[in-house]
Structure 1
Amino acid sequence: MIMRIFQVVVRPGKEAEFSNFFHEMAIPLMKGTPGIVSVLPGAPRADSPREFSFVMIWENLDALKAFVGEDYQSPHIDPAEAELVESRTIRHYDLVET
């Protein structure tokens, strides 16, 4: 399985607007995506008020590529949120099951 960690830093003043997008669109979309085993959304904390994240567990790399395409190592972003986001990062790991 593949662990995908996606993080965004929201533009100053866009926190509430992005939070609405995150809760109303992004979380339901990810939870309903074929090939995803688990979705762990992360909301901002007081010490990082503009940072949101997703930790996603994918069945395998093929499932991930079916969703984002061959360029899975780039942090894709929905056009609806592009103007709200200052920066984004993506990381992939092999899941270690314990």
Structure 2
Amino acid sequence: MTFQTGDWVRIHSVILTPDERTSAIPKETRGVPLEMRVKGWLVTAGASIGDAVEIRTTLGRSYHGTLEAVNPPYGHDFAAAIPELLRAGEELRAMLAEAEGETT
């Protein structure tokens, strides 16, 4: 399916490859590319998902990247739940209650 100029889209581009990243950041961070996703209006006519395109943002800035989605929904999350962190609050409260019991 092709999309037209003016369609609301999201693009993806790699800003820095792992080799281009500074050594001043943690090894785990250095091992992955620095990526950018931007939403805006499609400037490139007749583009399909996966094509290299240009967009214009609501602030009027132009960006180039790979077309990833058309009419992308607004959303955010903080990744999957980490079981150890889910229990941390309960464990801390139990430790504090135990410590208070010992000092009184």
TM-score (norm 2): 0.30
Larger radius of gyration: 2
Q: Which has the higher contact order (CA 8 A, sep 6+)?
A: 1
